[in-house]
Amino acid sequence: RRVADRLNNAHRPTFSVEFFPPRDEADEAVLWRAIRELEPLDPAYMSITYGAGGSSRDGTIRNIARVATDTTLVPMAHLTAVNHSVAELRNVIGHFAAVGVHNILALRGDPPGDPMGEWVPHPQGLHYAEELVRLIRELGDFCVGVSAFPYGHPRSADLDTDTHYLVRKLRAGADFAIAQLFFEAEDFLRLRDRVAAAGCDALMLPGIMPLTTPRTLRKTIELSGATPPSWLVDRLAPLEDDPKAFRAEGLDVVTELCSRLLAEGVPELHFYTFNRSKATRELVERLGLRSPAPPLALT
């Protein structure tokens, strides 16, 4: 099943969930517990990120295949061009199709080790995500997503250049873009407006981090590439040493952000789960995104 079809046919706002590949067996059990706990809420799709190296990549490929065969969820695999020749990328993409994964988030990826280090493409590989979108399209009837950056990609000279290449990447055959983390609804809405103003009507989906701990806030700041607004720091910084109060306030902040996005017609929220389900389940419940399936107790 295709993500774009699910989103276009949805009669009300929905959500999706992102996981990362497990490092070992214990991690894999944790991942699968979260997957099983989220499955009854019927997310539009679930995705697993793609790492820089062999065992992590195997973890993505193995687990996304298991999602396709063993669950009712719609799987989407992330895939990057890092350290892959085109022949290898063709193999991975062909494997996804063979195991029933027909949705791929096409990314260029970062240089392993230092994300802002020099980007050196594989000698027989690709330079930009746009080329990966084309390759995936060439190889079959895939639904393809790409990444977008509300504050511009850190390597982009300015927002106009960033929008130019984002729109090129979407026009190369992507069905939707998922936005990197951001702090205020307006930051995402301005990105959506820039893309629309360029004459592109691809679906733009916001990435949402449940702010349950100081660590998730630090991660959000790091990934967004931006400075958090002072109101956010004022609300959360004083609670850094009080885990319960931080979590309560953090989830309030995220609920307010999501409510504003939904009020602006955003069709879907993409939650980072960190391979746990509880915070996402709570947000889904609060925002009324839950499907008609029976709810799970919030333990």
Q: Which residues bind ligand FAD (CB under 6 A)?
A: 49-50, 78, 80, 105, 107-110, 128-130, 147, 153, 155-156, 162, 165, 169, 178, 180, 207
* Cβ neighbours around 157 below 10 Å, total: 9
Of the two residues 40 and 154, which places its CB atom closer to ligand FAD in the complex?
A: 154
Encoded tokens for 85: 């020749």
Least Å from the CB of residue 237 to ligand FAD: 26
Nearest-angstrom CA–CA distance, 104 and 48: 10
Residue 126 or 232 having the CB closest to ligand FAD? 126
β-pairing, 268-272 vs 46-48, is unpaired
The one catalytic residue among 18, 39, 130, 268: 18
Q: Is 18 designated active site?
A: yes
CB of 108 to ligand FAD, least distance (A): 3
Contacts of 72 (CB under 8 A, 6+ apart): 39, 42
In the bound state with ligand FAD, the residue whose beta carbon lies nearer, of 60 and 246, is: 60
| Closest distance to ligand FAD from the beta carbon of 227 (Å) | 18
Specify the residue, 149 or 246, whose C-beta has the smaller distance to ligand FAD.
149
In the complex, the smallest distance separating the C-beta of residue 293 from ligand FAD, rounded to whole angstroms, is 26
Minimal distance in Å, beta carbon 278 to ligand FAD? Answer: 22
Closer residue to ligand FAD in complex, CB, 107/279 = 107
CB of 106 to ligand FAD, least distance (A): 7
Rounded Cα distance, 286 and 278, in Å: 12
Q: Which is nearer to ligand FAD, 80 or 212 (CB)?
A: 80
Active site residues: 18
